[in-house]
Amino acid sequence: MSEADRQRVARQAAIRTIARGERPVYRAMQAEGGRWYVLSYPWLVIDGHDRRSALEAPRNAVQEWLGVDREAFDVESG
Domain ranges of the chain: 3-77
Q: What is the amino acid identity at position 50?
A: D
What b-and-e string marks burial along 3-14, b requiring 16 or more CB atoms within 10 Å of the CB? eeeeeeebeeeb
Whole-number average pLDDT of the chain: 88
Is the confidence at residue 45, as pLDDT, over 80? no
Distance CA 67, CA 61 (A): 10
Q: Which residue has the higher pLDDT, 37 or 53?
A: 37
Alpha carbon separation from 63 to 11, 33, 75 (Å, rounded): 11, 25, 11
Model pTM?
0.83
The answer on pLDDT for 29 being more than 90 is no
